[in-house]
Structure 1
Amino acid sequence: MANVLKEYFGTVTSSDAYSYGYGEVRNFLEFPYASASYDWVITNPPFRLAEEFLMEALRVSRNGVAILARTVFLESIGRYESIFQNTPPTKFAQFVERVPMVRGRLDKKATTATGYAWFVWEKNEVENAKLMWVPPCRRSLEREDDYKNPPVDLRELNVA
């Protein structure tokens, strides 16, 4: 994700809890970021930690947060009460095609039955959440170079 973001933003700081060959290795939830450290926090957090990632990202971003998450992130009384009721996203962008994701690597042949969406919180916007769709685009945006590095074997990292 950071490689693509660098094509659009002047500076991109990236990190991950494990070494996938890009960015610093650090835990986003434990690293002592100062408030308003970054213009934007754009992330694909682990699903079970997405709520905590969001709350920390809102604290350390000046302009906003964008989270790529499973569509079912919208579902939950707990998340409604702790997030959506008082801090709804300004944009919810649902992918109309399935976006296959494989932990820690890219796989051109991967498939999935899981739906994903971008959840966006723009700090200077006061409008209610706007529903949008991400049209089919995978084939037009993929490049052979995206797959040039061999996938990281998570067993080598001792990651379950």
Structure 2
Amino acid sequence: MNGSNMAGGNPKNGRAENDYYATNPSDTKEFLELIDKEYRLDGSKIIEPAAGEGHIVNVLKSRYPHSKITSRDLVDRGIDEIESGVDFLSDNREEHYDFTITNPPFNIAKGFIDKSLKISDVAFIFAKLQFLEGVSRKPWFANVPLKYVYVYSHRANPWKNGQSTDENGKKLSSTMAFAWYVFDNSYTGSHIINWI
């Protein structure tokens, strides 16, 4: 058994191009319904820096019609409303947002969080629950304002290459656990675990 099998992947299917695993819109809606009780997003300034084809952005636009939403991605996927060719980690524009809301590539999620906390007050990050693991991340977690981890009680299923089904029309499923991580620059307390 190889590492991909143990992690719940199927090595025959391979990785998504550009590590593109879009967030299922229903998974975003479930999280926002809970977080809306504490954070006022409507009328705020939001950035989605790994927007893909707009899976998160479209939910945000529908739910928060009075917000100013900026959407960018490194890869051009042909969506006019998304500014493409922007590498979030090296983009040096002097901008400030109320919220960064994104599902970054897993291997650079830490960098996305660090950058998000520089340019926004609060960051909502969709990532594997496995992100909590890691010897190198342990001291990092002790020094970032992680307020909440919202763990899915059901299996969240990111969409490989932005598609909800495979090439045979079968609904995609994952054996990996996912969560939304809430980093809040104004927070100084202990981390809080919640469930979706």
TM over 0.5: yes
Kindly provide the amino acid, as one letter, of the partner of residue 37 in structure 1: H
Residue of structure 2 in register with 1:131 after alignment:
193
Residue of structure 2 in register with 1:145 after alignment:
none
In the alignment, structure 1 segments of 5+ residues that lack a partner are 135-160
Kindly provide the amino acid, as one letter, of the partner of residue 129 in structure 2: T
Which stretch shows the higher mean deviation, 17-26 or 71-80? 17-26
Question: Which of 65, 69, 76 is residue 134 of structure 2 equivalent to?
Answer: 76
Question: Which of 92, 102, 112 is residue 32 of structure 1 equivalent to?
Answer: 92
CA distance in 2, matches of 1:90, 1:105: 29
Matched, 1:19 2:81: no
Question: Which of 103, 108, 112 is residue 174 of structure 2 equivalent to?
Answer: 112
- If the length of structure 1 is used for normalisation, what is the TM-score? 0.76
Q: State the Cα distance separating 1:33 from its structure 2 match.
A: 2.8
Q: State the Cα distance separating 1:88 from its structure 2 match.
A: 4.3
Write out per-residue CA displacement over residues 87-131 of structure 1, whole angstroms, 9 at most, x where no aligned residue.
141000001111111343131511111111001011222221111
Ranges of 4+ aligned residues in structure 1 off by more than 3 Å:
none
Write out per-residue CA displacement over residues 45-83 of structure 1, whole angstroms, 9 at most, x where no aligned residue.
10000011111111111x2111100000000110111x2
State the secondary structure of the residue aligned to 1:42.
strand
Residue of structure 1 in register with 2:119 after alignment:
60
Residue of structure 2 in register with 1:149 after alignment:
none
CA distance in 1, matches of 2:96, 2:161: 26
Superposition RMSD on alpha carbons, in Å?
Answer: 1.5
In the alignment, structure 2 segments of 5+ residues that lack a partner are 1-55, 166-170
- If the length of structure 2 is used for normalisation, what is the TM-score? 0.63
Matched, 1:8 2:63: yes
Residue of structure 2 in register with 1:100 after alignment:
157
Residue of structure 2 in register with 1:139 after alignment:
none
Write out per-residue CA displacement over residues 117-154 of structure 1, whole angstroms, 9 at most, x where no aligned residue.
001011222221111001xxxxxxxxxxxxxxxxxxxx
Is the contact made by 1:33 and 1:60 (CA closer than 8 Å) also made in structure 2? no
Report the number of matched residues: 131
Kindly provide the amino acid, as one letter, of the partner of residue 99 in structure 1: A
| Structure 1 pair 45–104 and aligned structure 2 pair: CA distance change class (3 A) | same
Q: State the Cα distance separating 1:18 from its structure 2 match.
A: 1.0
CA distance in 2, matches of 1:32, 1:52: 14
Q: Percent identity?
A: 28
Residue of structure 2 in register with 1:85 after alignment:
142
